Structure 1
Amino acid sequence: MKTLSPSRLYKACVLKDLDFTSTLSLEPLNEIVGQDRAREAVRFALAMPHGGYNLYAVGRNGLGKRTMMLRYLKAHGESGRRVSDWCYVANYLEPRNPRVLELPAGLAATLKQDMDHLAGRLVKVIPQAFDNDTYEERAETLKQDYGRRQEKALDKVAAAAKAEGVDLSMSTPGGYRLTAMEDGKAHTADSFDALPEKQREAFEAAIERLEKQLRNTLRRIADWEQTHAEKQQALSEETVSGVTAHLIQAMAEQYKAYPAVVEHLHAMEKDIVENLDIFLEDNEDQAAFAYASLDRKIPRRYQVNVLVSREDASVPVVVEENPTYHNLFGYVENVTYKGTVFTDFSLIRPGSLHRANGGYLLMDADKVLEQHYLWDALKRAMRGRDIRINSLERELTLSGTISLEPGPIPLDVKIVLLGDRHTWLLLQEYDPEFAELFRVTADFENEMDRTPASQQLYAKFIASLCQEKQLLPCDRKAVARVIEFSARLAEHQDRLSLHAADITNLLRESDYWARESQSKRIEAEHINRALTSAEYRSSRIRDELYRGFSDGSLLLSVSGKAPGQVNGLSVLATGGFEFGLPNRISATC
């Protein structure tokens, strides 16, 4: 065993290895410092176009995995991935299955504005078209024609009845009655029974013939009524088309490059004809429903629900801090009105998967696994490569209420899970699907070699932290002191710790002391004061134990010899603070 000299116990940073005066002169580091292995894994996972090449980032908490991933994605994430806007619109044939529209980035908001403007115009022009002299005259002509034919047919039956001494009268709306008459007065039941049998039989035979004639006439009237309704419907369609066709056609021409939008507009035109009452009647329920859902008083079935709208075609990078089922997959809101629960396509809300579609989604692995049923649902979406919005209650078959089944949205997203090694090993061991869906592991290092080149790189890392956290710049001696502290964290003179959280906290506290002393940059004395302050705040238990040696309550012999006894040094840790404590080790037999 060799004796260590005091000069070998601490490796000071050589200032000449740091060729700068302040971190202001250094270019901030955009790469992942000391993480060549992890960087290659990230690059490979992001470049692979095939399914299943999602990423699991392994490393201790505090290594800065998330910060490093976001920094890398910002610099290298634009990999030619196609991003889109997503909308839901009404499905007029299957109202429970809203249709999904995919549009180029930035177009969804424009489509919604155009549709709202179109619906607003229709609300005005359709009632006006039905409230003019031309329409009313044509509708009145159809009504009079039908009325004349009906009246003429009934008059014919009434004349035949009068010839037989029978009266035709209306008993109820749409109901008729034939009554035997004598001297202009209707027979009562008693007076009719008092008639001679031959006369009664003659009346009964006449009434039977007239009833048959009346039934035939009423059938013809029913046919004429149907014809009248069809002509009235045709007139309404013609009137509506006259004021809506050119408006809808103009919008269809505007969006002719998007067949799904054009198809929806044609379906909308047909639906307007079938639901004219929406425009012609003041629907209080519809207005109340719009108010309850914080919406404007525009026919809801003709609106566009913009699920995801992007300002440009840049690849989205989404960090989900609270990955619950609804936060990830979206949900359908409900509106309560007069004790009844309503919903429709306009109340569909997006989740993180929708917002990250076409890009990257970062989540904490432990938080995902803590949520019941979320992990299985996420794997199902990744395997099927689509997003389906279903309520969790329906997934568990706990609710029998009728709800919507929105059309699925194709899923194209790279998922990055951030977690520790223990969680990763458990998933590898107990979930056979994990290895198929997360085929790439980015294993983050805890330390890096300490060389003059790596120290220069570490200085750039410090510069990037100062810039990102908006801290004062560090001078060369301060950087050297931080590097020495990093080596102490690594517990090796020739290694540097990559635990970014500890370095960031040290820089924050040093920035505080620098500003306290009105300095324009962080110097070595501020680093030392931050370290001393942190040690003082955490060292109460150490000082209590050391006080026992100073006041004589704890005795430890440091000279002489004793059989079976030796002095030792143990290292205690209390809340992240470590200190040494002398101990006597005794051997007994």
Structure 2
Amino acid sequence: MKYKKLKYEDLNIRLESLPDFRTTQEIINYKEIIGQERAIRAIETGLKLKKSGYNIFVCGSNGSGRKKYILEKLIQIASDEETPDDWCYVYNFSDSFSPIALNLKPGTSEGFKNDIDNFIDSLFDEIPRLFSEEEYEKARELIIEKFQKESFDLIQKLYDEAKGKNFVVKSTREGFAFIPIRNNEEMTEQEYNELDEKDKEKITEDVRSLKFLALEVLRKTKFLKKEMSEQLRRLDDNSAYETISKRILNLKNKYGYNEKIVKYLDDLQKDVIENIDAFLGGENDQIDESFFKRYFVNVITCNKKKGAPIVFDDFPEFQNLIGVIEYENERGSLVSDFTMIKPGSLHRANGGYLIIDALQLLSTYQGWKALKNALKNEYIQIENLKNQFDIIPIVALKPERIPLNVKVILLGNEYIYYFLYLYDEDFKELFNIKAEFESEIKLNDKIANEFLGFISFYCASNNLPHVTKKAVFELFRFSMRLSENRKYLTSCFRDIIKIIDESAIICISRNGNYINEKDVKAALAEYEKRHSFYKDRVLDMYKDGKYLVQLNGYRIGEINALSVLELGDYSFGKQNRITVTTYMGKEGVINIEREANMSGTIHNKGILILSGYIGQLFGQKFPLSFNASICFEQLYGGIEGDSASAAELIALISSLGDIPIKQSIAITGSINQRGEIQPVGGINQKIEGFFDICNMFGLDGSHGVIIPFSNYDDLVLKDEVLNAIKKGLFNIYLVNNIEECFEILCSDNFIRKNEDLMEVIKKRVEEKLKRYNDVSQK
């Protein structure tokens, strides 16, 4: 196939499938996702599968509408799904370090908390009032009187027994003292000493028996006091029980569907009764808040909204996912309790859907680990990340774990997906559904009409001026340009929206009713101007002669190659001057960039491939003995890629055969060992970059670029380039192989009539190589 010189008609894009309309106001709005059927089917499958492990990883670029689609899809299905239970933490009366997790019917956890708070608050009024009632006071006095009488009878019996033995009884700190009586008076120590031994022994014996009796009285009195206290406590308990049990019964009737709640209410009732004195403080008594915290209810989730919850966690770090136990400083010590347990996004999404940005997740410390462990174990266990770093961990709460049932949707790109898939075995088990949003959408009649409907919908929903047909065409061209192919549209609608927004501002500023073609072109020009600072500086360097460029005439071993400079949000094409020198030797092709450690692996491979082509074409008759140095002149950074390998090969052959080649034409394309030209990326930027340089120095019709034939569909060029081609001032050539390149680059008088160009080139190269070989053999 012969090379093809493109005409304006070949490059002018036509959209014949668009309906006839004046503005998008006439077009039916389309607000669904466009051209992502594969991803939609995968997402729908993942949402239908309720088994564990069928979480979804959504691949795609930002701005493709994937997040919006997923949120809308989830809102659509979640409203019809079962609303999950509420969860709360309550005090564990058996083990204060192990709070109990209670699940309640959806939307009732806050009501449960209020009911418990009201119950506790009411006791501060009812308990004092209860214990001040006349009936209670009488019952209490009867118990006290009874035990006072029994105690008095016991002591009186001791007094009577002592009197019968002629002793008087006196109370002391240690108990009772017994003093003998003589002549109705207490015996003095002198009188006692004057007694004979027999009387002394009798007194001693009587005192001994009285002491035994006194001990018995003390024992029985102590027992009576204990029994009195027990009866008073039972009176208090019974009095309080009647009031408390009624309220507890009401709570059981309301929340008794859960056995754990019933047990908690029983434990609560028991603890309140055991600590009934805490509710009897006076008006001026200060309430011990730390004690009454045990009766709080810590609401973790309250699902009042019907349906399954949908949660988007924009900062999925460890404790934001699984929750955290907070601490407070109390007299220099860190203390905590179950009321300081805070829920995480897994709690809020439990029973529903959790959406997480994968890059954010992997950027946080231990965030991926927390999510992975929760999904594997199917429960949420709250723990403090801080304790993992403490040499001596703080005694921490161990809240009861909460069962987990959630569908996780990760949003990321294919690099993150394959990174996790290859290096984390758990990822394969947990994320069995991959939904991939394509970055480019193949253009057909259906997609074209949906894209048109999307423009109409966006303008209508944002109160923007509608878009004329010619302006719509410019938006289509811009979308094709972003996808780098005239048969595809970009799926990054965010970039399209930006241009519509800026076009609308321009339209409104001129008091226009509709966004027209000029508005869109002006918006695109403004976008270009904002981002082209570095490009303009490079063009200035060409203009000032700091970058050397040859744009006319013929030269041997020198050619203009093309490259693309990527700056993140902007890229542009640049000319690169490649020079080749050849001389006698046996080292073959020397890549100067590689020798200077400025060449990437793909570029090195390209040099090796062109060496293979040289050997196949010229090394069939005799061994090749030559040295060739290939250099990218004025390149001070690294180089990567093989898109310049065709240019390098042409310059090498030019040097070996002393063949002059045109300097007004640049070339891009990679070469294989058969001499075929293969497609490259960034073709539009490369063409426009060389065009800008030629245009700056003056176009004369000889300038142009050679590109691979297979890059034809990628051509979506700016109007300036198209107009120059239409006027015959600039040329684009499509080639399939290296022979066609030489047909374009060699002078018309390089060969005689009827001579084969490649045979002439081959003959001239072989003559030089044979001369080199002969010298090397001597």
The TM-score with structure 1 as length reference comes to 0.88
| Greater C-alpha Rg | 2
* Pair 1:176-2:175 in alignment: yes
Aligned counterpart, 2:441: 448
Q: 1:545 aligns with which of 521, 533, 538?
A: 538
Alignment of structure 1 residues 478-497 onto 2, 5 Å: 478-497=471-490
* Pair 1:570-2:571 in alignment: no
Q: In structure 1, what is the Cα distance between the partners aligned to 2:135 and 2:333?
A: 42
Q: In structure 2, what is the Cα distance between the partners aligned to 1:586 and 1:182?
A: 139
* Pair 1:133-2:134 in alignment: yes
- Offset at residue 392 of structure 1 (A): 2.0
Q: In structure 2, what is the Cα distance between the partners aligned to 1:375 and 1:347?
A: 24
- Offset at residue 259 of structure 1 (A): 4.7
The answer (yes or no) to whether the contact 2:17–2:448 under 8 Å persists in 1 is: no
3-state DSSP of counterpart to 1:83: coil
The answer (yes or no) to whether the contact 1:474–1:521 under 8 Å persists in 2 is: yes
Q: In structure 2, what is the Cα distance between the partners aligned to 1:60 and 1:186?
A: 111
One-letter amino acid of the structure 1 residue matched with residue 31 of structure 2: L
Aligned counterpart, 2:155: 154
One-letter amino acid of the structure 2 residue matched with residue 318 of structure 1: V
One-letter amino acid of the structure 2 residue matched with residue 227 of structure 1: E
* Bigger shift: residues 18-27 or 414-423: 18-27
Q: In structure 2, what is the Cα distance between the partners aligned to 1:583 and 1:332?
A: 61
CA RMSD of aligned residues (A): 3.0
Alignment of structure 1 residues 90-105 onto 2, 5 Å: 90-105=91-106
Answer 1 or 2: higher relative contact order, Cα 8 Å, separation at least 6.
1
Q: 2:4 aligns with which of 2, 20, 29?
A: 2
CA distance 1:336–1:550, change in 2 (3 Å):
closer
- Offset at residue 572 of structure 1 (A): 1.9
CA distance 1:424–1:344, change in 2 (3 Å):
same
The answer (yes or no) to whether the contact 1:15–1:477 under 8 Å persists in 2 is: no
Q: In structure 2, what is the Cα distance between the partners aligned to 1:401 and 1:29?
A: 54
Aligned counterpart, 1:52: 53
3-state DSSP of counterpart to 2:556: coil
One-letter amino acid of the structure 1 residue matched with residue 369 of structure 2: D
Listed one character per residue, the Cα deviations across residues 343-395 of structure 1 (whole Å, up to 9, x for unaligned) are 33333221101111111111122322233333333222112211122222345
Aligned counterpart, 2:709: none
* Pair 1:418-2:389 in alignment: no
The answer (yes or no) to whether the contact 1:513–1:530 under 8 Å persists in 2 is: yes
3-state DSSP of counterpart to 2:551: coil
Q: In structure 2, what is the Cα distance between the partners aligned to 1:542 and 1:554?
A: 13
Q: In structure 1, what is the Cα distance between the partners aligned to 2:193 and 2:523?
A: 120
- Offset at residue 453 of structure 1 (A): 1.4
- Offset at residue 402 of structure 1 (A): 3.1
* Pair 1:220-2:213 in alignment: no
Listed one character per residue, the Cα deviations across residues 7-50 of structure 1 (whole Å, up to 9, x for unaligned) are 333424448446683268533423x3222221111111111111
* Bigger shift: residues 152-161 or 395-404: 395-404
3-state DSSP of counterpart to 2:578: strand
- Offset at residue 552 of structure 1 (A): 4.4
3-state DSSP of counterpart to 1:587: strand
Listed one character per residue, the Cα deviations across residues 370-426 of structure 1 (whole Å, up to 9, x for unaligned) are 333333332221122111222223455655433332222111101112222222222
Listed one character per residue, the Cα deviations across residues 428-483 of structure 1 (whole Å, up to 9, x for unaligned) are 22211110111111122111101221111223344555567675554444433222
Q: In structure 2, what is the Cα distance between the partners aligned to 1:341 and 1:549?
A: 68
* Pair 1:121-2:122 in alignment: yes
The aligned length equals 577
Q: 2:351 aligns with which of 351, 355, 358?
A: 358
3-state DSSP of counterpart to 2:5: coil
One-letter amino acid of the structure 2 residue matched with residue 26 of structure 1: I
CA distance 1:508–1:339, change in 2 (3 Å):
same
The answer (yes or no) to whether the contact 1:178–1:207 under 8 Å persists in 2 is: no
Aligned counterpart, 2:751: none
Alignment of structure 1 residues 410-559 onto 2, 5 Å: 410-463=403-456, 465-466=458-459, 473-519=466-512, 522-559=515-552
Aligned counterpart, 1:296: none
Q: In structure 2, what is the Cα distance between the partners aligned to 1:486 and 1:560?
A: 38
* Pair 1:274-2:267 in alignment: no
Aligned counterpart, 1:144: 145
* Bigger shift: residues 575-584 or 190-199: 190-199
Q: 2:323 aligns with which of 324, 330, 339?
A: 330
One-letter amino acid of the structure 2 residue matched with residue 280 of structure 1: L
Listed one character per residue, the Cα deviations across residues 80-134 of structure 1 (whole Å, up to 9, x for unaligned) are 3442222222333333332222223222222233333333323221211111221
3-state DSSP of counterpart to 2:272: helix
3-state DSSP of counterpart to 1:588: strand
Aligned counterpart, 1:245: 245
Q: In structure 2, what is the Cα distance between the partners aligned to 1:532 and 1:287?
A: 71
CA distance 1:101–1:185, change in 2 (3 Å):
same
Q: In structure 1, what is the Cα distance between the partners aligned to 2:548 and 2:221?
A: 119
Aligned counterpart, 1:388: 381
3-state DSSP of counterpart to 1:29: coil
* Bigger shift: residues 121-130 or 276-285: 276-285
Listed one character per residue, the Cα deviations across residues 170-189 of structure 1 (whole Å, up to 9, x for unaligned) are 433xx41434445555867x
Give 5+ residue unaligned stretches, structure 2: 583-778
One-letter amino acid of the structure 2 residue matched with residue 572 of structure 1: L
Listed one character per residue, the Cα deviations across residues 116-170 of structure 1 (whole Å, up to 9, x for unaligned) are 3333323221211111221112111111211121122122223323444555444
- Offset at residue 209 of structure 1 (A): 2.4
- Offset at residue 518 of structure 1 (A): 4.3
Give 5+ residue unaligned stretches, structure 1: 291-298
Q: In structure 2, what is the Cα distance between the partners aligned to 1:340 and 1:319?
A: 36
The answer (yes or no) to whether the contact 1:60–1:421 under 8 Å persists in 2 is: no
3-state DSSP of counterpart to 2:555: coil
Listed one character per residue, the Cα deviations across residues 511-568 of structure 1 (whole Å, up to 9, x for unaligned) are 4334434445544333222211111111122112222333445443322211111223
One-letter amino acid of the structure 1 residue matched with residue 39 of structure 2: A
* Bigger shift: residues 457-466 or 40-49: 457-466
Aligned counterpart, 2:594: none
- Offset at residue 239 of structure 1 (A): 1.3
The TM-score with structure 2 as length reference comes to 0.68
Aligned counterpart, 2:31: 29
